[in-house]
Structure 1
Amino acid sequence: MKTVAILTLLLSLLSFDPAVVESANNGSVSFINPLNDKAVVLSNFGMRTHPILRTQKMHKGIDFKVSEGDKVYASEKGIVLFAGEKEKFGNFIMVKHSDGFVTRYAHLGRIDKELSNGSKVEKGQLLGLAGKSGQTTGPVLHFEILLDGEPQDPLKYLPHD
C-alpha cells in the first residue's frame, strides 16, 4: 500500500498538479452537495428536451432548483481552472480535482471575488451565489461532474439520504 502511495506521489510530482499531489496523502475524492443538502433536482442527467431550444439534447449535468442568492459551495477541494463568464453557462466556475475529476457550476448570479483561474479551493468553500445568468429559464444551478473529460451523472457521486 505504501508503494502505491509513493508511486502516486511521484507521478503527480512529474505532472506538476498540486491537487493530485495533495490527494496522494488524503485518498480519493468525496463530493458534497454544492448547495449544502437543501437541493431539489429540477432536471436530471441524460437526454432531454432542451427547455429553450425545444430539441432533444444530452444534458451533461443536473439542474438544482435555487433562489437567487443561494450560496454555492465547492463540492470537493481542487484548483479553479476557470472562473468567469461563458456564453450559454453565464457566470461559470470549473474546478479540477484529483483522480481525473472536474466539477462545473453554471448560471451563477455572482462568482466570489476571491476566485480566479489557479485559485485553490477547499471542500465546502463558498464559490458564489446562485442566479440565472446565461441561457436559462430562471434561477438554477447547473452542476456537472466529469471524469477524465467524460460527463458523469452527478447523483451517482453525491451523498444520498
Structure 2
Amino acid sequence: EPEIRPAFAAGVIDGSLYLSAREAGMDDRLTMELAGIFGWDIDFVYDVRKGDQFEVVYEQLYIDGEEFSTGRILSAKFTNRGEENIALLYTDSNGESDYYTPEGKSMRKAFLRVPINARLSSPFNLQRRHPVLDIVRPHEGTDYAAPPGTPIKAAGNGRVKFAGWKGGYGRTVVLKHGDNITTLYAHMSRLGKGIKNGTRVKQGQTIGHVGSSGMVTGPHLHYEFRVNGVAKNSRTVKLPDAQPIPKSEMARFKQVTSQSLAQLNVFLESQNQLALATDN
C-alpha cells in the first residue's frame, strides 16, 4: 500500500491550463482531473483568460519513501475572470465520492456543457445560411468538428427516445431527460454499443461516434439542447445542478470539508508568504 501525503501546486494561466499546470509540477492526469472538476462551469477552451489562477491540494503517493505517483485531487480553487470557484472532495456515508462547493452544492451539473472533446465549428445561430442548401435556415444546434470515430457522450442521464436515420441529420440519437429536456446528436458514423430506442444511458456514456452521415460537408457532431421542444443555445443555457448534499448528511459534510478547506488555506497562506519573501 502506498503512503499518501498531501501535496500542493499553484499556477497562473499564461497560455493554457495544460502548460501552466505542467510548469506548476502537475502531471497530465491531474490536469485533466482539474479540468473535469470545474468543467461544468468553466469552458477551458473559451472561458479561460490570461491571469486566471489555480491552487490544488492532491494526494502524492510514496512507496518506500520514494515518489511513486499522484492520487486524487483533495481540494482545488480556480479563479476565472476574478471569480473564485472552490471544489472539495467528499466521500458520503455510503462510500460515494464526488466534488462539492463549501456550501454543499455539487460541482457537477445535471448536463455536460459540451458532449465531446472537440473544437466548436459552427455556433447556435437562428439566422445562419445553410452551407449545403445556401438558404437562410436556423441552426438550432452547435457543431463540433472532430475526426471520424471520435466518441460522443450523453450530456446527461436519460433514455433513448430515438436511435437511427433521421433525414438530413443522418445517423442520430435523441435522448429524453425528465419531462421537458431532450438532447439530439446527429451525423454519426455509427451508434454506441447497445444504443437503441428505450435504452437508459448515464451521463458521459458513449452513445455514438462522429461521422458525416446526412446532409453535411464534413465530419462533425451537430448537438441540440431543447427545453419543452424549444431549441436553446447549449453553450449558454442555464444548466440544472446535480443533487446537492442532503440535509441529513450536511453536518457530517461540514465537519469533513472544514478540514479540507483549512488544509487548502494553510497551503495558500504558505504560498503567499513565499511569494512575499521572494519579492523582498
The answer to whether the superposition gives a TM-score over 0.5 is yes
For the pair 1:146 / 2:194, whether they are aligned, the reply is no
Q: Return the alpha-carbon distance in structure 2 between the equivalents of residues 153 and 45 of structure 1.
A: 6
Q: Return the alpha-carbon distance in structure 1 between the equivalents of residues 187 and 228 of structure 2.
A: 23
In the alignment of these two chains, the number of paired residues is 131
The correspondence for 1:96, drawn from 155, 162, 176, is 176
- The residue aligned with 1:11 is none
- The residue aligned with 1:15 is none
- Secondary structure at 1:64's aligned position in 2? strand
Q: Return the alpha-carbon distance in structure 2 between the equivalents of residues 33 and 142 of structure 1.
A: 11
- Secondary structure at 1:88's aligned position in 2? helix
Q: Return the alpha-carbon distance in structure 2 between the equivalents of residues 30 and 119 of structure 1.
A: 18
Deviations 1:89-135 (A, max 9, x none): 11000000125110000000000240111100000001011000000
- Secondary structure at 2:115's aligned position in 1? coil
8 Å Cα contact 2:163-2:197 kept in structure 1: yes
Q: Tell me the C-alpha RMSD between the 2 structures.
A: 1.9
Aligned pairs for 1:58-137 within 5 A: 58-98=138-178, 100-137=180-217
Instruction: Flag the structure with more relative contact order, 1 or 2, with Cα contacts below 8 A and sequence separation at least 6.
Output: 1
User: Structure 1: any 5+ residue segments left out of the alignment?
Assistant: 1-25
8 Å Cα contact 1:29-1:97 kept in structure 2: no
- The residue aligned with 1:56 is 136
Q: Return the alpha-carbon distance in structure 2 between the equivalents of residues 158 and 130 of structure 1.
A: 26
8 Å Cα contact 2:149-2:189 kept in structure 1: yes
Q: Return the alpha-carbon distance in structure 2 between the equivalents of residues 87 and 99 of structure 1.
A: 25
For the pair 1:43 / 2:131, whether they are aligned, the reply is no
- TM-score of the superposed pair, with normalisation by structure 1: 0.76
Q: Return the alpha-carbon distance in structure 1 between the equivalents of residues 111 and 218 of structure 2.
A: 30
Cα distance, 1:32–1:44 mapped onto 2, change above 3 Å: closer
Q: Return the alpha-carbon distance in structure 2 between the equivalents of residues 104 and 152 of structure 1.
A: 12
Deviations 1:53-95 (A, max 9, x none): 0011100001101100101110101010000011101100000
User: Structure 2: any 5+ residue segments left out of the alignment?
Assistant: 1-105, 240-280
8 Å Cα contact 1:32-1:76 kept in structure 2: no
Shift of 1:157: 4.0
- TM-score of the superposed pair, with normalisation by structure 2: 0.45
- The residue aligned with 2:252 is none
